[in-house]
Structure 1
Amino acid sequence: MHIHKYEKLWLGLGLLLIVGFIATITYGAVGAGVTMVDESGEVVNPNNLSEHPEFGDPGVEQVGENEYDVHVISRQFAFSPGTASPITVPANSTINFYVTSSDVIHGFSIVGTNANTMVIPGEVAEITVEAEEPGEYGIVCHEYCGQGHHDMAGTMEVVPQDEYNGSEQ
């Protein structure tokens, strides 16, 4: 059986594309270092967050030299802290965010950083951000959470180390 040279060319290109797609998917799943959401995070009762040790009074807490934990509650249609008062952290520090929801599914994204997660009632999402440069960063909800969703926004302020007062929060 004779196969025309153009048929061989298209067959070769098709096989090359298949191998390329498989390589791309493999790299995206294994090589890029992207981790998927799993069930390893803490579980809380969304109806009793006020009684939880960290979420009862959410905010910023220094846990080491240049390392801070920030507990945030997402609720329709605000972040606490973040919306009414900004989350204030010092520059050149590591910020560990622990975010949960008290009502419905929300999103939590800090514009200009790697922080981007879905916030599910009863589950605690953990995100680590390196706050290098002073500035103001917007916090947005990127999951539709109701008719006031478009107003659900907040602020994270990164201030110079010498201007930071840990008792502000």
Structure 2
Amino acid sequence: MTTKEQHGWIDPYEKIWITVAIVVLVGMVAALTVASVAFGIQVPVPEKRVDPNSIAQDANSPFSEPGLRELGNGKYEAYLVGQTWNWNPKEITVPVGSTVTFFITSKDVMHGFMIWNTNLNIMVIPGEVSRVTITFEKPGEYPYICNEYCGIGHQTMAGKVIVE
């Protein structure tokens, strides 16, 4: 046995890399904590579960008639359904300064929902309702697309938010 083995020595380079790894880990945890607490950035989580096979038939479900609902005071809820290369509805119109909460689900396969020129990007999973909120400060057209490959007609899966 060598002296290193007897005393449980760690090579100096290993100590450096272990220290670097710990510093990076602590830095990442600190960044996530600051982002979530100080800046209010939250990771989107599923709102609830739905039966993807009966979304349209359930009269009590807001997804039976997807679209925009005004709540008052510049707040809106938008219910969208993704299915076979189509978003329903394909177009939503809101006034400038509106805060829109999107509730999105899928009837068939996994989709991605992304609104161009914003930081809104969320996964849409069959059987789960994804929820995300955004405020539209500038007028214009904000196209939304499916950014998760979902089959042969994936490129046609688009719509837009019109902010007037």
Which category describes the TM-score, using the shorter chain as reference length?
A: 0.7 to 0.9
**CA distance in 1: counterparts of 2:45 and 2:156, whole angstroms:** 29
Cα drift, residue 12 of structure 1:
8.0
Residue 155 of structure 1 is matched in structure 2 by 160
Residue 76 of structure 2 is matched in structure 1 by 68
Residue 20 of structure 1 is matched in structure 2 by 23
**CA distance in 2: counterparts of 1:112 and 1:65, whole angstroms:** 24
Cα deviations across residues 97-133 of structure 1 (Å, max 9, x unaligned)? Answer: 0000011100101112232111011110000010111
Residue 49 of structure 2 is matched in structure 1 by 43
Across the aligned residues of Structure 1 and Structure 2, the Cα RMSD in angstroms comes to: 2.2
Higher strand share: 2
**CA distance in 2: counterparts of 1:138 and 1:50, whole angstroms:** 25
Q: Are the aligned partners of 2:45 and 2:131 in contact in 1 as well (CA < 8 Å)?
A: no
**CA distance in 1: counterparts of 2:109 and 2:14, whole angstroms:** 50
The answer for unaligned runs of 5 or more in structure 2 is 1-10
Give the ranges of 4+ consecutive aligned residues of structure 1 lying more than 2 Å apart after TM superposition: 10-20, 27-31, 34-39
The residue identity in structure 2 corresponding to 1:55 is F
**CA distance in 1: counterparts of 2:71 and 2:162, whole angstroms:** 19
Task: Give the TM-score normalised by the residue count of structure 2.
Answer: 0.80
Cα deviations across residues 84-108 of structure 1 (Å, max 9, x unaligned)? Answer: xx11111111100000001110010
The answer for unaligned runs of 5 or more in structure 1 is 1-6, 160-169
- How many residues get paired? 149
